Structure formats: structure tokens, C-alpha cells
């Protein structure tokens, strides 16, 4: 079975990931559905389960553009990686999980927009199309265990560290083994040299062309909605908590306008909202 030593400089991009066995056939991608100052413990446990069970790389993916670009760069720099285990909860603001699956299945347009995703800004402006096609060819399959947004039950497959360990183990086998609808085994390294590409520090596409104001406010509103009570009580005068979140994103109201957020059990969510709005 063909295995190759990754080149010097691998992995080329920094990020929220851990490096494991360089000769492993699998990377684990855990969707980060909140901001990095408040990473839930259950997502950290999934990352650790990936690297502890032998993944080449195991880490967090937060966005459908720069985050996904960095992931592509790191994977094509190691031809041994042939599978991606996708897990965690989908992020309703960015849809990075959906974008990853769509990238593998459909590729990108001439303007480097990922085909077939509803994500707000699914553009890969900072990597060449050749790199995208190499990623699509190198990755034999995505083991999609992604949960719906807001899922809290850590016994479901996409949030269960034991299931992630089993998925990684399955990718190591010499003969195909069944795993949740997939036939997995180590098919050996991709038969072309590694591509060690590092994204330039300066964006090749002006930021104002990437972010469309209407869409970015809506995306931010969807993120803020994760920290609201979701009772739709209308005490803020809005019809739903999502409507309130979008108004927050537009700067038309404040967290204090939600009476329920002042209750002690929502103190952490209120602080998270305040920090997110400060970043804006």
C-alpha cells in the first residue's frame, strides 16, 4: 500500500486543529457553530477523539470561505489523507458543513463560488481552482455525521466521541468494513505529489466584494439567534427570537431589550451576545 512522507512545511496553514499520524488516511472536521472564545466542551472532545484514534488532522471548521480554504490547503499537502469525517452541529450562520459536502460533490464556478450550497459567502477566492480539483479528487469520500443546528444530545452519532473513533478506525482497515452506510478502508496515498500551498496574508479578492451587506447581516443574525432563549414570547415586541436576532445584527436593538436574557440562567448567553456585538 502506497504511503508517502508529507513535505517540509506541512501542514501549511495554521488553525484550530491538532496534528496526529501523518500516514493516516483520514482527517476529522468538527463544525464550530459558535465563536472561538466560547468553544463548547463537547466539540473539543470530538477533536480529541479524532486525533487520539489516529487521524492525520483533527480540528474545527467555522466558515465556508477562509476556513474551508485553509482546510483544503492542509489536506492536499498530505496525499495520505483520503477521507474526511464530518461531525458536530451545522452552523446556521455559515453552513460550513453543507459547503464542504457541496465542494466535494459539485466543485466551484468560474468565480470560485461553491456550487449547490445556501451558505451566505461560499467563495474560495484565495486558492487556485487546481487546488480545489485536487482536493475533490484526493478525497475519496466524506463520512457525513453532521447534526442539525442546535442539537444537544451527545449520544447522537455526530456528537459522540466513540462514534468518531470508530469512523477513524474503519478508515484504517485493510479490507472494506461497513460503517453507517459507508464501506471504508485504507486505499493508500493519492498517486500524485503533495501540493504545499500557503494562502497569501492579503486577500486576493477585496473584502467588500466577498461580503454582501444584506446577506452578512442575516448570517450574523442567525449566529446571534443561537444565544437567545428561543421562546418567541414577543416581550421584546418582535414576532420571533430570530427576528429579534436580526434586528440585533442590524444595530436596531440591544440585548437588554430581551427581558428573559436578564434572568440568571441566561447570563452566559447574554455575555456572549455582548461580546459578539462588540466585535461588530
Q: What is the dihedral of CA 135, 20, 189, 196, to 10 degrees?
A: 50
CB hemisphere CA count around 165 (13 angstroms) = 8
Cell of 60: 474545527
CATH 1.10.15.40 in the chain: give the residue spans: 212-279
Q: Which residue has the higher pLDDT, 52 or 275?
A: 52
The pLDDT > 90 percentage for the chain reads 70
As a whole number of Å, the end-to-end CA separation of the chain is 50
pLDDT in tens, 150-203: 999 999 999 999 999 999 999 999 999 999 999 999 999 999 999 999 987 444
Q: What is the pLDDT of residue 238?
A: 87
Q: Is the peptide bond before 11 cis (omega within 30 degrees of 0)?
A: yes
pLDDT in tens, 247-257: 888 889 999 99
Q: Specify the pairing of strand 182-184 against strand 83-88.
A: unpaired
CATH architecture for the domain at 17-184: 3-Layer(aba) Sandwich (3.40)
| pTM given for the model | 0.75
Partnered with residue 17 across adjacent β-strands are 59
Within a 10 A sphere around the Cβ of 264, how many other Cβ atoms?
A: 6
Q: Please check whether the domain covering 212-279 is classified as CATH 3.40.1160.10.
A: no
CATH 3.40.50 in the chain: give the residue spans: 17-184
CA distance 250 to 273: 13
Q: How far is CA 170 from CA 25, 178, 249, in A?
A: 10, 8, 43
Amino acid at each position: 500500500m502506497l504511503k508517502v512522507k508529507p513535505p517540509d512545511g506541512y501542514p501549511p496553514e495554521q488553525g484550530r486543529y491538532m496534528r496526529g499520524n501523518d500516514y493516516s488516511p483520514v482527517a476529522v472536521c468538527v463544525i464550530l457553530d459558535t465563536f472561538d472564545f466560547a468553544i463548547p466542551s463537547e466539540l473539543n472532545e470530538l477533536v480529541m477523539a479524532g486525533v487520539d484514534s489516529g487521524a492525520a488532522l483533527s480540528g474545527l471548521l467555522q466558515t465556508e470561505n477562509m476556513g474551508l480554504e485553509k482546510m483544503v490547503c492542509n489536506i492536499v499537502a498530505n496525499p495520505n489523507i483520503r477521507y474526511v469525517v464530518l461531525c458536530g452541529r451545522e452552523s446556521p450562520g455559515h453552513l460550513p458543513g453543507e459547503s464542504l459536502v457541496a465542494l466535494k460533490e459539485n466543485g466551484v464556478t468560474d468565480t470560485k463560488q461553491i456550487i449547490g450550497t445556501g451558505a451566505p459567502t461560499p467563495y474560495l477566492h484565495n486558492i487556485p481552482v487546481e487546488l480545489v480539483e485536487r482536493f475533490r479528487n484526493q478525497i475519496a469520500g466524506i463520512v457525513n455525521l453532521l447534526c442539525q443546528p442546535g442539537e444537544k444530545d451527545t449520544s447522537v452519532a455526530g456528537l459522540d466521541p466513540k462514534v468518531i473513533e470508530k469512523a477513524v478506525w474503519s478508515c484504517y482497515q485493510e479490507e472494506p468494513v461497513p460503517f453507517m452506510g459507508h464501506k471504508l478502508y485504507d486505499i493508500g496515498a493519492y498517486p500524485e505529489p503533495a501540493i504545499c500551498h500557503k494562502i497569501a496574508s492579503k486577500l486576493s479578492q477585496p473584502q467588500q466584494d466577498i461580503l454582501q451587506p444584506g446577506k452578512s447581516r442575516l448570517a450574523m443574525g442567525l449566529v446571534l439567534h443561537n444565544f437567545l432563549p428561543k421562546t418567541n414570547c414577543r416581550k421584546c415586541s418582535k414576532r420571533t427570537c430570530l427576528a429579534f436576532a436580526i434586528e440585533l445584527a442590524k444595530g436596531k436593538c440591544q440585548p437588554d431589550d430581551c427581558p428573559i436574557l436578564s434572568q440568571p440562567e441566561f447570563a452566559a448567553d447574554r455575555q456572549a451576545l455582548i461580546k459578539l456585538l462588540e466585535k461588530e
